[in-house]
Amino acid sequence: MFRRAVTALCYTAARALLALRPHVHRHLPSVRTAPLLGFNLDSRWSVTMTWPFSSFQPHDYSLPNPSWSPEMMRLYDHYNSLCEQEGGGKSKAPWVRMPSYNRLLKYAKGGQCLSKMVQAKARLFTRNMKEEGASFEYVVFLNKQEKMCTCIFQAGHLLEGPPGYVHGGAIATIIDTVAGALTTYLGGLVMTANLTINYRSPIPLGSVVLVHSLLEKMEERKILIFCQVTSSDGSKLHTEATGLFLSISLGHLIGG
């Protein structure tokens, strides 16, 4: 009873806040109302959510599922063993597994509570297939000390480009996503300004590759990232890329 009343109150308050600024795009209420709801605007986390509130629990898509191949699992176990463990163990470990997009809400200031109330319907483009294993299966690990990310990526059958190989646009997408995750961690709200990609050798569909993303330079708003996609044992170079990301203000997101 009490919970329902609180939820209803929050929802009414949120609707009222929306009504105050009707020109704002309805899919970005979190950005606009964040300060009012107690989010830390300097947070390194970018959060997207839509109304209405409900008891929806975001799923963490970066955790193993039955479609992950033994090679994917082997690499996952390897990187996971280098990570900080929940509950304190290995607290000095340099690696952290990044939860998938909608799970980020709980890291915002006050988000532990909000993540229970807010329905995050929006889903990152790379996580939008219902069938496990059909498209992008990946997990990103962040090394805070080295300012780098390594992503284990298994490309499913819907990502086909040339027969039997991964589409170049899908490769660009995963590069943008991994580099974007690193720059979000380093610079807060960012957008890709430029992505330059050299495709060196095709990626077999269904294979597992590593996407390494490394900070090259950070200059005021500009963050330059270098990326490499290699075979899972590192012996073959598939793709190289550089990405320029620019820190943006909340106003830029809201204003379009």
Ligand X SMILES: CCCCCCCC/C=C\CCCCCCCC(=O)SCCNC(=O)CCNC(=O)[C@H](O)C(C)(C)COP(=O)(O)OP(=O)(O)OC[C@H]1O[C@@H](n2cnc3c(N)ncnc32)[C@H](O)[C@@H]1OP(=O)(O)O
| Bridge partner list, 154 | 137, 208
Per CB under 6 A, the list member of 244, 250, 253, 254 interacting with ligand X is 244
Question: Nearer Cβ to ligand X, position 26 or 219?
Answer: 219
Cβ at position 17, least distance to ligand X in Å: 25
Q: Is 246 in the site for ligand X (CB under 6 A)?
A: yes
Spatial separation of the C-alpha atoms in residues 210 and 66, rounded to whole Å = 20
Q: Is 109 in the site for ligand X (CB under 6 A)?
A: no
Question: Nearer Cβ to ligand X, position 10 or 244?
Answer: 244
Q: Is 101 in the site for ligand X (CB under 6 A)?
A: yes
Q: Is 150 in the site for ligand X (CB under 6 A)?
A: no
Spatial separation of the C-alpha atoms in residues 2 and 101, rounded to whole Å = 30
Residue 245, C-beta contacts closer than 8 angstroms, at least 6 positions apart:
179, 180, 183, 187, 190, 191, 192, 193, 222, 223, 224, 225
Contact characters 166-195, ligand X, x per CB under 6 A: ----------xx--xx--xx-----xxxx-
Q: 3-state class of 234 per DSSP?
A: coil
Phi-psi domain of 206 (left: phi exceeds 0; alpha: psi -120 through 50; beta: other) = left
Contact footprint for ligand X (CB under 6 A): 44-45, 96, 98, 101, 104, 124, 142, 176-177, 180-181, 184-185, 191-194, 222, 244, 246, 248, 252
